[in-house]
A = this chain, B = another copy of it.
Amino acid sequence: MRKRAPARGIEEIAGGGVTSPQGFRAGATFAGIKTLGKAPLDLGIVASDAPCVSAAMFTRSAVKGAAVQVSIRHARRGALRAIIVNAGCSNVATGATGLRDAEEMADLAAGRLRIEPAGVIVGSTGVIGRALPMDKIRAGVPRIRLARDGGARFARAIMTTDTRPKEAAVRFRAGGRAYTIGACAKGAGMIHPDMATMFCWITTDAAVERRFLQRALRNAVDDSLNMMSVDADTSTSDTTAILANGAAGGPRIVAGTPAAAAFAAALRHVCISMAKMLARDGEGAQKLIEVRIEGAANDRQARAAARTVTASPLVKAAVHGNDPNWGRLLMAVGRSGARIDLDRAGVWIGDLPVYRRLPLPFDEAAASACLRNEEVLLRVDLGVGKASATAWGCDLTPEYVHINSDYTT
């Protein structure tokens, strides 16, 4: 798969994350909540030194975790300035006790940071239907040391079945000034975000007008996290938030300006990096699959087709087995609701055309070799219009089944 360079003026920061932007500190501890995974951290905080403008998006699931319910309330004012997250217990389906526990988590972080509880967004991830061990969280919060280089520890503390942390940061310039956006994410299973993804926490030292920030986040998420699927299952806890503290100085970025365009492009870049890292680290996954749909009747259909192909177990299994069974791409497009004209359509595995109006003779060994890459590109031209979309997923492996056959027991 060809690497696409960042858009002009966007510079990736090697090893960057949520504490790359100025004025953010983070830290984490092992509170003893997590029973899975090797990273011995399960409770973390990110905080801005100064008040922020914020935007957030949450799962559209009808079953929302207690942390999501509390966070939706706190996010409403657009003034979040700290994030507290635990792994090992999602605090979902836990009734009134769960809500009180989620509120207490915000209180504990607020007390530690000497800010208002309503400025704290809460994330909890892990098994559904178990109460948070609040004694461990109460003991853990004071042990968290916040530091300017604490982003990496925080990124590890939010992991569950992830095999590696997911972090990125970019620098961009606008109005002669340099700004930074940093992010980290987690999630390897139960991933087929609708509205937002598992956890994706984003920070920036830009000063951004609130309504523009919300719109920029929504647009970026629609093209990135919402186009990514590990297993078509949508979590009860999906949360994405961006905190903008203005520490880089300069005028507030408002919609319709060149600075807004630069900011939106940089945010989109970071979110796509996160989406690809999440897909690549899907439970049991060995490959990142990028699906590009072209020639669709409209954007909605292009997106539906791309997402359906990335979510198809048969496509994912074929990619896993390096099997150039391209008929499954057409099958998945066929059930996506997108219009397709088989007399004009085309299918490519990597750069290799395998169907164009008719099945093409092709070199099966070469096609199989394309599928053997760690990044697999699948492309379908629907032959009916001009709209296009890209989605990311991963292969389906026996390991996915093993991981999910004995999660609680």
Contacts and interface: CB of A to CB of B under 8 A. Distances in A.
Interface of A: 59-64, 90, 92-95, 127-131, 189-190, 192, 194, 231-236, 311-314, 317-318, 320-328, 330-340, 342-343, 354-355, 357-359, 364, 368, 396-398, 400-409
Contacts of A396: 401, 404
B317 A401 contact: yes
A358 B98 CA distance: 10
Given A323-B406, A325-B407, A355 B314 contact: no
Given A94-B359, A95-B342, A326-B129, A331 B190 contact: yes
Contacts of A92: 327, 330-331
A364 to B, nearest CB: 7
B93 A62 contact: no
A245 B129 CA distance: 55
27 contacts: A61-B335, A62-B334, A62-B336, A62-B337, A62-B340, A63-B333, A63-B334, A90-B327, A92-B327, A92-B331, A93-B330, A93-B358, A93-B359, A95-B342, A129-B330, A129-B354, A231-B314, A232-B311, A232-B312, A232-B313, A233-B332, A233-B335, A234-B334, A313-B313, A318-B408, A321-B406, A323-B409
A205 B231 CA distance: 45
A323 B359 CA distance: 44
A386 B338 CA distance: 34
Given A61-B334, A92-B330, A234-B331, 6 more contacts: A63-B333, A92-B327, A128-B326, A233-B314, A234-B334, A323-B405
Q: Looking at A338, A340, A407, which has the most chain B CB atoms within 10 Å of its CB? A: A407
Q: Looking at A62, A236, A364, A403, which has the most chain B CB atoms within 10 Å of its CB? A: A62
How many chain copies does the complex carry?
2
Nearest to A322: B409
Q: Looking at A234, A364, A402, A405, which has the most chain B CB atoms within 10 Å of its CB? A: A405
Contacts of A93: 327, 330, 342, 355, 358-359
A333 B62 CA distance: 8
B324 A408 contact: yes
A179 to B, nearest CB: 36
A61 B63 CA distance: 30
A408 B325 contact: yes
Nearest to A367: B409
A405 B342 contact: no
Q: Looking at A93, A354, A400, A402, which has the most chain B CB atoms within 10 Å of its CB? A: A93
Q: Which 6 pairs from chain A and chain B are nearest by CB?
A: A128-B327, A321-B405, A63-B334, A317-B404, A398-B398, A61-B334
A254 B128 CA distance: 52
A91 to B, nearest CB: 11
A385 to B, nearest CB: 14
Contacts of A400: 313, 317, 401
